[in-house]
Amino acid sequence: MLVGQRNAIARLLQDNDPDTVRLVKEQLAAAGDEARIELASLVQYEDEQVSRHAREVLNLIADREAEDEFTLLCHLYGDHHDLERANWMLARALLPGVDFTPLEAKVNAWGRQFLLKGSGAVSSRERVMLLANFMAGELGFRGNTEDYYSERNCLLPCVIETRMGIPITLTLLYMMVAARAGMSVEGVNLPGHFIARHGDIFFDPFHRGRILTKSDCVAILAKQNLSLQKSHLADASARQVLVRVLANLLYVYDLHKDTANHGRVNAWIRALTAERG
């Protein structure tokens, strides 16, 4: 429908009436893939105003697609799906227009570095200590105790940039770096404080990877008037982790009266937790 209309669209985007320009941009965004070729051409247009509007529409199309893709993922997501990919997709849905490629490359580099550092470890405890020293000691990852209830603590790219997060996102980063070095780290859905496990060693990425004893876990639960059950120390499935990440975001958006994002996240949680045939 839009082929051959490049100049006509450009003239509309140059219109002095803001409402006309807004309407044209909305129609182009609604066309989605059908408009991409024309928009890509208009990005190179000699008029900077036309070029800027075209870029904005292309970004809007990409943002809507990112949200749609994550929504679909939530409807299909299972217990053994790719947890890292899901968290990158979540970030793309909530942080439109951001290129995460450099951050993914950074995590890959950290994995290679830790592979060299951890290659000589002979026990689970020693590997955990080396991982904690690398992540917390060298890279500086730590719990954000000053601004705990922040959206940035819940989103993977922000945690990578600030080196601060909440228990579940810091555990996710430890899992990602360890996996790239051939070390298996699992998330543990301990009520009130997400932790990690490697082999028979439990540890706490929020507190710089300190190793946890059974007594430590009992103390964490006691603060919530809970007694330790075997299920509390079971590995969390990918779906359980993603639901908990979203639940943290839901609380943050509720706290900050962000009704738009609260509604989106609530819909994603319902999709993830719906009964499936």
What CATH number did the domain enclosing 226 receive? 3.10.620
Residue 17 lies in a domain: yes
Q: In terms of residue numbers, what domain contains 59? A: 6-76
Check whether residue 57 and residue 94 sit in a common domain.
no
Query: What is the gyration radius of the CA atoms in the chain, in angstroms?
Result: 23
Decide: 178 and 198 in contact? Cβ < 8 Å: yes
The number of folded domains in the chain is 2
pLDDT of 99: 86
Are 144 and 204 within one domain?
yes
Q: Is residue 1 part of a domain?
A: no
Verify that 72 and 117 share a domain, yes or no: no
Q: Are both 36 and 107 inside the same structural domain?
A: no
**Is residue 195 in a domain?**
yes
Residues 101 and 236 in one domain: yes
How far from 2 is each of 7, 47, 48, 57, 224, CA to CA, in Å?
Answer: 11, 19, 21, 15, 60
Whether residue 208 is found in the same domain as residue 115: yes
56 plus 94 within the same structural domain: no
One-letter amino acid identity for 215? S
* pLDDT tens per residue across all 277 residues of the chain: 344 577 787 888 888 888 888 887 878 777 777 777 777 777 888 788 888 877 777 777 777 888 989 999 999 999 999 999 999 999 999 998 788 999 999 999 999 999 999 988 999 999 999 999 999 999 999 999 999 999 999 999 999 999 999 999 999 999 999 999 999 999 999 999 999 999 999 999 999 999 999 999 999 999 999 999 999 999 999 999 999 999 999 999 999 999 999 999 999 999 999 986 6
